Amino acid sequence: MYVAYQRDPVSELFDGAARSLLARAYARPGKWVGSRIADPSPRHRAWLAEHGIEPFARDDVGSGMAKTRWARGMVRALYYQHKWWSATGGGFRADKRATYRQTGALIVEIGNVTVARGVIPRGRAVRVMLAPGGQVKSRAVARTADRETWANQGPAWADPGTRDW
């Protein structure tokens, strides 16, 4: 059965935060930049419950790198904004790209939950890096096991039939 592409509604909630974190990464290529994914607010939890989405459920994509469904939304927003809206040389485009960006490799890591400190809320650590493209990217892809690449339906591949949206 054909299922039309729809963005993950959780990822759409993170578009602004993803762009902010990506802007910092584009300004410092090859360096890690980090932030924190705050837990969903009561309002977010109510909205997600209406849509049958459990934000604290285990990340069921591939190896579960994002750890929770909520953090997976942030990962998806980061890749979506980078692939379709980023401008070459930094910043963002006014219009969606006709074809997705293929330069520079975006690397995303999700860390542990950190406690609230002052005005910074409790949340899960996230960091990103824009790695070089070209030969560096090709060598990194060559070192990656086939089962871990989206082209071979590894962790980055999502079966539309298993989506909760």
pLDDT in tens, 22-42: 999 999 999 999 999 999 999
Which residues, 6+ apart, have CB-to-CB distance to 30 below 8 Å? 129, 130, 131, 132
Residue 162 placed within a domain: no
Q: Are 18 and 77 in contact (CB under 8 A)?
A: yes
Average pLDDT in the chain: 84
Decide: pTM greater than 0.95.
Answer: no
User: What CA–CA distance (Å, rounded) separates 87 from 95?
Assistant: 10
- Assigned domain for 146 exists: yes
Domain presence at residue 163: no
Tally of structural domains, the chain: 1
By residue range, what is the domain housing residue 78? 9-157
Instruction: Encode pLDDT of 154-163 as tens digits.
Output: 445 556 666 6
Per-residue pLDDT of 102-155, as tens digits, reads 877 889 999 999 998 898 888 999 999 998 776 666 776 677 665 555 554 444
- What Cα–Cα distance (Å) separates residue 24 from each residue in 6, 30, 99? 27, 11, 23
Cα separation, 76 vs 55, whole angstroms:
14
- Within a domain: 2: no
